[in-house]
Structure 1
C-alpha cells in the first residue's frame, strides 16, 4: 500500500509541475510564452496553429492524469489500514 501511495504522490507532484508549465505556454490574449515555440504562428481565419492544438491535447491528457492521481491518492489515504 505504501508503494502505491508513494507512486501516486510522485505522479501528482510531477503532473502538477508539468501542468503549470503547459498552462503558461498557452497563448493568451496577448500572445504568451507559446510564441517562443511557434505557437504564435497561427493560421488564418482565427484557428489555432498546430503547436497550440498539440499543446491543448497534451494539457487535457495531463489534467486527466492529475485528476486520477488526486482521486487515487484520496482513496488510498481513506481506505488505508495501519
Structure 2
C-alpha cells in the first residue's frame, strides 16, 4: 500500500509540473511565456494551428491524469 501511495505521489508531482509548463505555453491575451518561444507572432488566418490544437489536447490529457491521481490518492488515504 505504501508503494502504491509513493507511485501516485510521484505521478502527481510530475503531472503538476508538466501542467504548469503547458499552461504557461498557451497563447493568452497578454502573450505570457509563449511569446518567448515565438508564440507572439500572430497569424492573419484566424484559425488555430496544429501545434496549438495538439498543445490543447496534451494539456487536457495531463489535467485528466492529474485529476485521476488526486482522486486515487484520496481513496488510498481514506483506507
Q: What TM-score do you get using the length of structure 2 for normalisation?
A: 0.85
For structure 1, the 5+ residue unaligned runs are none
For the aligned residue pairs, the C-alpha RMSD in angstroms reads 1.6
For structure 2, the 5+ residue unaligned runs are none
Residue 39 (structure 1) shift: 4.3
- The number of equivalent residue pairs is 78
Distance 1:70 1:43, change over 3 A: farther
Task: For 1:14-53, list aligned pairs within 5 A.
Answer: 14-37=14-37, 39-40=39-40, 42=43, 44=45, 46-53=46-53
Partner SS, residue 29 of structure 2: coil
